[in-house]
Amino acid sequence: MPRVLPLADMDKILSLSKRRGFIFQSSEIYGGLASTWDYGPLGVELKRNVKEAWWRSVVRDRDDMVGLDSAILMHPRVWEASGHVENFSDPLVECRSCHRRFRSDQVESERCPECQGELTEARNFNLMFKTFMGPVEETGQEIYLRPETAQGIFVNFNNVVNATRKKLPFGIGQIGKAFRNEITPGNFTFRTREFEQMEVEFFVKPGTDEEWLHRWVDTRFEWYVSLGIRRENLRLRRHDPDELAHYAKDTYDIEYRFPWGWGELEGIANRTDFDLRRHNEFSGEVLTYFDEESKEHYFPYVIEPSGGVDRATLAFWLDSYDEEPDPPSRNGPPGDGQARQTVRVVSHLHRKLAPVTVAVLPLSRNERLLPTARRVYDLLRRSFNTQFDDAQSIGRRYRRQDEIGTPYCVTVDFETLDDQQVTVRDRDTMYQVRLPIAELTTVLQDKLEHGW
Least separation in angstroms between residue 154's CB and ligand GAP is: 10
Query: Which of 45, 94, 199, 336: binder of ligand GAP (CB under 6 A)?
Result: 199
The nearest distance, CB 302 to ligand GAP, in angstroms, is 10
Render 75-93 in DSSP notation, one character per residue.
-HHHHHHTTHHHH-EEEEE
| Contact pattern from residue 161 through residue 190 relative to ligand GAP, giving x for each residue in contact according to CB under 6 A and a dash for the rest | -------------------x-x--------
Of 195-203, 277-285, 294-302, 377-385, which part binds ligand GAP (CB under 6 A)?
Answer: 195-203
Mark residues 306-325: x for contact with ligand GAP by CB under 6 A, - for none.
xxx-xx--------------
Residue 275, interface with ligand GAP (CB under 6 A)? no
C-alpha distance from residue 285 to each of 83, 158, 159, 277 (Å): 18, 9, 12, 10
Distance of closest approach, residue 49 Cβ to ligand GAP, in angstroms: 17
Cα–Cα dist 181/127, whole Å: 5
Closest residue by beta carbon to ligand GAP? 308
Pair 355, 416: CB distance under 8 Å: no
The interaxial angle of helices 309-320 and 10-19, nearest 10 deg, is 110
Q: Determine, following the binding rule CB under 6 A, whether residue 148 of this chain makes contact with ligand GAP.
A: yes
- Rounded to a whole number of angstroms, the minimum distance from the CB of residue 48 to ligand GAP is 17
Smallest gap from Cβ 129 to ligand GAP, in A, equals 12
The secondary structure of residue 74, as a DSSP letter, is: -
Q: Element (H or E) spanning 313, and its range?
A: helix 309-320
Phi-psi region of 420 (alpha: psi -120 to 50; beta: other; left: phi over 0): left
| Least CB distance to ligand GAP at residue 349 (A) | 19
Q: Between the CA of residue 207 and those of 95, 210, 274, 302, what are the distances in Å?
A: 48, 7, 15, 11
What does the alpha-carbon distance between residue 404 and residue 400 come to, in Å, rounded to a whole number?
7
Q: Could you tell me the sign of the dihedral formed by the alpha carbons of 130, 132, 137, 140, in that order?
A: negative
**Burial environment of residue 379 by CB neighbours within 10 A (0 to 12, 13 to 18, 19 or more):** middle
Residue 427 DSSP one-character state? T
Pick from 312, 346, 325: nearest CA to 233: 312
Spatial separation of the C-alpha atoms in residues 264 and 194, rounded to whole Å: 17
Would you say 156 or 383 has its CB closer to ligand GAP?
156
Binding segment toward ligand GAP, per CB under 6 A, in 299-307, 333-341, 381-389, 413-421: 299-307
The answer to whether residue 249 forms part of the interface with ligand GAP (CB under 6 A) is: no
Q: Is the CB of 69 or the CB of 137 nearer to ligand GAP? A: 69
Q: For residue 33, which of 182, 193, 180 has the smallest C-alpha distance?
A: 193
Q: Is 266 in the site for ligand GAP (CB under 6 A)?
A: yes
- Shortest distance (Å) from residue 308 CB to ligand GAP: 2
- Residue 152 contacts ligand GAP per CB under 6 A: no
Q: How far apart are CA 153 and CA 108, in angstroms?
A: 39
Contacts of 237 (CB under 8 A, 6+ apart): 252, 253, 255, 262
Give bridge partners of residue 264 from the DSSP assignment. 255
Question: How many residues belong to the site for ligand GAP (CB under 6 A)?
Answer: 19
Tell me the helices (H) and strands (E) count for the chain, helix number first. Answer: 13, 23
Sign of CA dihedral 345, 324, 263, 176: positive
Minimum CB distance to ligand GAP smaller for 188 or for 321: 188
Q: Which is nearer to ligand GAP, 186 or 328 (CB)?
A: 186
- Shortest reach from residue 325's CB to ligand GAP, in Å: 35
Of positions 43, 267, 305, 332, contacts ligand GAP by CB under 6 A: 267
Tell me the window of 96-104, 191-199, 371-379, 395-403 that interacts with ligand GAP (CB under 6 A): 191-199
Q: Which position among 82, 192, 280, 416 is part of the footprint of ligand GAP (CB under 6 A)?
A: 192
List the x/- string, 366-405, binding to ligand GAP by CB under 6 A. ----------------------------------------
Q: Quote the least distance from Cβ 199 to ligand GAP, whole Å.
A: 6
**Residue numbers of the site for ligand GAP (CB under 6 A)?**
148, 150, 180, 182, 191-192, 195, 197, 199, 264-267, 304, 306-308, 310-311
